[in-house]
Amino acid sequence: MPHNEQSVTIHKVVTFTYLIQDGQDEQVLEQSDLPMSYIHGVDGKMYPSAERAMEGKKVGDVVAVSLSPEEGFGYPDPELMHTEKVENVPDEYCRIGAEAMFENEEGESITMQVTKIENGEVTLDANHPFAGKTVVFRMTVVGVRDATAEEVGSGEVIDAQGTMTMQ
């Protein structure tokens, strides 16, 4: 079967571009024209409902899946929100949408975003920006190929140069 006529089935490397829209007003929240890849039915990196919707699709097909907070980005965790007095926050972070990097107790870097400024306080939030939202995950299939035995064994897609692709 020619490369471009393969269907998405188990052990296929599926390459796609995507768009994430707000489930209520269809506003585009994120768009990636940079293709991403996963191994269908193997690596567990794709949202389960999106992976099910990709089954049987071919290059050029567009798949749209509604992801609830449970299936997608979860619900906001109050422990990931921090409020600080405006005078204790550098000026460059005193605007909605500003992002700052911090280190948690485990030494991991986390990004916090300014989500609210009111009553002399700045709220920083480390939750995913889509937490609590139902979103539409719209994918366009741009490639389907057989996964190699090495890819299936490792659960990682390896590109033509032998390096791992973004997952």
Is the predicted pLDDT of residue 164 greater than 60, yes or no? Answer: no
This model's pTM is above 0.85: no
Average pLDDT for residues 81-100, to the nearest whole number? Answer: 92
Task: Give the mean model confidence (pLDDT) for residues 110-117.
Answer: 93
The two tokens of residue 106 are 């485990």
Q: Which token pair is 98?
A: 């500003």
Confidence of residue 126 (pLDDT cuts 50, 70, 90): very high
Task: Read off the pLDDT of each residue in 145-162 and give the average, rounded to a whole number.
Answer: 83
Q: What is the pLDDT of residue 160?
A: 54
Q: By percentage, how much of the chain surpasses pLDDT 70?
A: 92
C-alpha distances (whole Å) from 155 to each of 57, 102, 142, 152, 167 are 21, 31, 20, 5, 10
User: Residue 1 and residue 4: Cα distance in Å, rounded?
Assistant: 8
- Mean pLDDT across the stretch 94-115? 90
C-alpha atoms less than 13 angstroms from C-alpha of 96 in its C-beta half-sphere: 5
Going by pLDDT thresholds of 50, 70 and 90, the confidence category of residue 70 is very high
Q: Choose the weakest-confidence range: 65-79, 107-121, 151-165.
A: 151-165
Tokens, residue 41? 């039915």
> Which domains does the chain possess?
3-73+131-154 (3.10.50.40), 78-125 (2.40.10.330)
Alpha-carbon distance of 123 to 115, in angstroms, equals 6
Share of the chain above pLDDT 90, in %: 71
